[in-house]
Amino acid sequence: MNNPTVKLVQVTDCHLQNDPSQLYRNQDVESQLDQLLAHLKSTLPEETLLLLTGDIVHHGGPDAYRRLTAKLASLPFDTAWIPGNHDDADLMQACGERLNRKVIQVRGWCLILLDSTSEPDGRGSGALGQAELAFLTQALDQNSDRYCLIVLHHNPVSVESGWQDPIMLADADQFWRVLEPYSQVQGIICGHVHQEWRWQYKGVDVMSCPASSVQFKKRCDEMTLEDVPALQAPAYRLLELSECGEINSQVKRFNLAEDQNISSV
Ligand SMILES: [Fe+2]
């Protein structure tokens, strides 16, 4: 049956190490991701598009990307990814054109995938930069007859945090200025913050997704790991894009011990 709804799943901030046995902030992030992907494979329809939204590896080298591309090849999902501040964009580009698509047209929608890792400040910040903003303008001009969802790593909206706001999207003002004339932009998804948010900002549905690795506690002045057990689990975000431009979305948190969702928000 031809279902007009576009189904997406967002997985973000995996922070894979080059050596899979090495922990990230005391967590076995490799095995967490393996379990999460196996769960997605067994629960989501094959037509789901998987989006990996940056910090895929944590200062990792080619081995981490090689392992991940092998895992992705075993899934039924079409997949695309973007880099985060911890990624190596050149190594990602070397993994093939399909994973690195920047525009995906699907039914009445256009997904625009952006690289926000320009102008790094060494603390985690990143910007789109003039070339990526020009690309965004061109992509929006060329897809004026489609609803658009923009995908980027860095949050373009404040998360009210003393340590996270200084490393949000550095050129967020220019980004929002570019979007202003384009009423077809229905949603924006990002990673980076390792926590869940959903805002209506300047008329756009903006969503962040918790990580598949570890979560950060909201509204803190310095980096603080999440301490609420129900919010510590690896997570992902489901999205359904309707043919009339609506976005239905929810975050799922994955219980590693029981191999099931423990909550949805
Ligand atoms: Fe991250």
Every domain of the chain and the residues it spans:
6-264
- Average pLDDT of every residue of the chain: 94
pTM, two decimals, is: 0.95
Ligand 1 centroid from CA 166, angstroms: 15
Q: Which two tokens stand for residue 83?
A: 């880099």
Gap from CA of 180 to ligand 1 centroid (Å): 28
Q: What pLDDT score does 264 carry?
A: 43
> Among 3.40.50.300, 3.40.50.1000, 3.60.21.10, 1.10.268.10, what is the CATH number of 6-264?
3.60.21.10
Confidence of residue 34 (pLDDT cuts 50, 70, 90): very high
* Whole-angstrom distance, CA of residue 228 vs CA of residue 67: 31
- pLDDT bucket at 39, cuts 50 / 70 / 90: very high
Q: Kindly report the number of other CB atoms within 10 A of residue 22's CB atom.
A: 13
Instruction: Tell me the CA–centroid distance for residue 103 and ligand 1, in Å.
Output: 23
Task: Give the closest residue to 184 by CA, choosing from 82, 111, 104.
Answer: 111
Q: How far is the CA of 114 from the centre of ligand 1 (A)?
A: 16
Pairing relation of β-strands 247-255 and 235-241?
A: antiparallel
Q: How far is the CA of 237 from the centre of ligand 1 (A)?
A: 15
Find the 208 Cα to ligand 1 centroid distance in Å.
Answer: 12
Q: What is the mean pLDDT of residues 230-235?
A: 94
Q: Which two tokens stand for residue 85?
A: 């501040």
Distance CA 195, CA 125 (A): 17
Looking at residue 99, its pLDDT comes to 98
If you measure from the C-alpha of residue 126 to the centroid of ligand 1, how many angstroms do you get, rounded to a whole number? Answer: 12
151's enclosing H/E stretch is strand 147-151
Q: Is the pLDDT of residue 238 over 80?
A: yes
Q: What's the CA-to-centroid distance between 196 and ligand 1, angstroms?
A: 13
Report, as an integer, the average pLDDT of 143-150: 98
Ligand 1 ion: Cβ-proximal residues, 5 Å cutoff: 13, 55
Looking at residue 93, what DSSP letter applies? H
- Whether residue 60 has pLDDT greater than 90: no
**Where does the pLDDT of residue 24 fall: very low under 50, low under 70, confident under 90, or very high at 90 and above?**
confident
Q: How far is the CA of 42 from the centre of ligand 1 (A)?
A: 26
